[in-house]
Amino acid sequence: MSHYDVIILGSGPGGYLAAERLAAKKIKVALIEKEEIGGTCLNIGCVPTKTLLNSAKLYAHSVEGAKFGIEVEGAKVNWTRVQAWKDEVVARLRRSVEFTLKKEGVDIVRGWGMLAGGHKVVVRQEAASAEVELDADQIIVATGGSPVMPPIPGAKNNPAVVDSTGMLALKEIPASICVIGGGVIGVEFASLFSSLGSKVTVIEMMDEIVPVMDPQMAMALRNALKQVTFMRSTKVTAIEGSKVLYEAKTGEKGAVEASVILMSVGRKANIEGWGAQEAGLEIRNRAVVADARLRTNLPGVWAIGDVTGKSQLAHAAYRMAEVAVADILAVRAGTKSAAQFVPETVPWALFSLPEAAGVGLTEKEAVARGYEVAVLKTPYAVSGRFVAENGLTASGSIKIIAEKTTGRILGVAMLGAYASEHIWGLALALERRLTLSALQEMVFPHPTVSEVIREAAWSANL
């Protein structure tokens, strides 16, 4: 049996970052992975979707360029090349992660890892029909998540129904797509394929799409995605071949026919098949329970990333990895780590065209928590750069929610170009409990789209 200081189960953003950081501190690490290094995010999530969305953006610019004086004749999508570029990007980034892990001295162990009692882990290597036994002082569980397949009659074994992974592997651009579920992943795919010419319908059970988003901003996003048909307050009742049957809250029933049906009703933590229950790990709401330092109920076992159910975002998994690593290093040194994972200040981003992002509380949440709020809304059209680059009618706005009495920033939602790039600054403002006056006193470069943040802060009349 090989002994390690730390064994990590799963090499997604949580697992590989933890491995890199620990190994950089001369900790002997085994990183166990049953599929490709990089996990969901790098192989079948963040990276491939954003690569495809960038190709869609370039195509949209080519088609719409005439209003800016750039006429591209015969612009067309070469889907085979688009897919090949996506695969190249994924392969390149995966090689880069593997290189760093090897350079830092991490042992990558291929196979299916299982907790086997105490601090022992058994790795099943199907190709070699062998089992490897490892043990360690500490274990990090980072097994991630996977798409939920709801028991909708007619969905199972239906070749027309795919999940996000199937969507990334499409051999051609479908003539029509029905997206079941208007969350972040569903809306990104809707935006992507509608920009490339597919007829897209999104069916959402709730009254508004993207539940994480301020409903007013979500409505603005919906309106901006003009080429997508959104059906809200509508439940899918069954699928018959390529027909999606639905019933609206109003009682109206009908069907949407599509060449491809994307099931994107959410993701679940990977808590099965690796001995979590048998080892006695506490599971609640179908996720591994971990505290703010990512410690589980089992001594010497930490859990990070999607498997904890704290967040389903890659950057949250990164942060959880850092917090767990700080705690593990402290335990090993006999000290105490002050690092904690704070979900409230984790920003989110939706890379549709236009993109959206947010952090902190929505207006409704802030009011529900008893805050007297100031709501500051500013259109992106106040930014010269935004108008120059996006035109006179492009959608974009920022909404800041602040505490009226103190001016403390409680939440921000943004819709428009570069929102995903700007939101970290507002996350910092929340994390550091900054007030509107701090934003007012910041000097923003001109002309930039980020100036809308400053304009929104100055619109306050507190």
Q: Which of 139, 142, 200, 423 binds ligand FAD (CB under 6 A)?
A: 142
Q: Amino acid letter at 260?
A: V
- Least distance to ligand FAD from the beta carbon of 50, Å? 6
Strands of the sheet containing 243-248, edge to edge, are 234-240, 243-248, 253-257
181 near ligand FAD, rule: CB under 6 A: no
Give 67: exposed, middle or buried? Use CB within 10 Å, 0-12, 13-18, 19+: exposed
Active-site residue flag, 446: yes
- Least distance to ligand FAD from the beta carbon of 63, Å? 24
Q: Which of 317, 373, 427, 452 binds ligand FAD (CB under 6 A)?
A: 317
What is the C-alpha separation between 198 and 326, in angstroms, rounded?
47
Residue 139, classed as helix, strand or coil, is strand
Q: Amino acid letter at 451?
A: E
313 near ligand FAD, rule: CB under 6 A: yes
| Among 354, 350, 351, CA closest to 61 | 354
**Which is closer to ligand FAD, CB of 314 or CB of 456?**
314
| Among 418, 455, 429, CA closest to 57 | 418
Residue 449, CA atoms < 13 Å, CB-side half-sphere? 22
Residue 29, classed as helix, strand or coil, is strand
The two beta strands, 243-248 and 253-257, are: antiparallel
**Which is closer to ligand FAD, CB of 189 or CB of 230?**
189
Output the CA angle 367-413-187, nearest 5 degrees: 115
Q: Which stretch binds ligand FAD (CB under 6 A): 55-63, 68-76, 148-156, 312-320?
A: 312-320
What is the C-alpha separation between 8 and 101, in angstroms, rounded?
13
User: H-type helices in 391-450, by residue range?
Assistant: 419-431, 436-441
On whether the CB atoms of residues 393 and 223 are closer than 8 A, the answer is no
- Least distance to ligand FAD from the beta carbon of 300, Å? 18
What is the C-alpha separation between 372 and 376, in angstroms, rounded?
13
Q: Which of 32, 225, 414, 439 binds ligand FAD (CB under 6 A)?
A: 32
From residue 59, alpha-carbon distances to 21, 76, 362 in Å are: 39, 7, 33
164 near ligand FAD, rule: CB under 6 A: yes
- Least distance to ligand FAD from the beta carbon of 273, Å? 6
- Least distance to ligand FAD from the beta carbon of 458, Å? 31
Q: Residue holding tokens 């967040």?
A: 311
341 near ligand FAD, rule: CB under 6 A: no
Note if the bond before 13 is cis, omega within 30 degrees: no
310 near ligand FAD, rule: CB under 6 A: no
What is the C-alpha separation between 313 and 357, in angstroms, rounded?
13
- Least distance to ligand FAD from the beta carbon of 114, Å? 6
* Residues whose CB falls within 8 Å of the CB of residue 26, separated by 6 or more in sequence, listed in order: none
What character string, x for contact with ligand FAD (CB under 6 A) and - otherwise, covers 110-129? --xx----------------
Q: Which of 6, 7, 8, 12 binds ligand FAD (CB under 6 A)?
A: 12
Residues between 348 and 387 that touch ligand FAD (CB under 6 A): 351
Active-site pick, 3, 61, 315, 446: 446
**Which is closer to ligand FAD, CB of 41 or CB of 256?**
41
- Least distance to ligand FAD from the beta carbon of 22, Å? 15
**Which is closer to ligand FAD, CB of 178 or CB of 366?**
178
13 near ligand FAD, rule: CB under 6 A: yes
191 near ligand FAD, rule: CB under 6 A: no
Residues between 40 and 79 that touch ligand FAD (CB under 6 A): 40-41, 45-46, 49
Q: Which of 8, 11, 396, 398 binds ligand FAD (CB under 6 A)?
A: 11
Q: Which residues are catalytic?
A: 446
Chain residues in the site for ligand FAD (CB under 6 A): 9-15, 32-35, 39-41, 45-46, 49, 112-113, 142-145, 164, 185, 270, 274, 305-307, 312-315, 317, 351
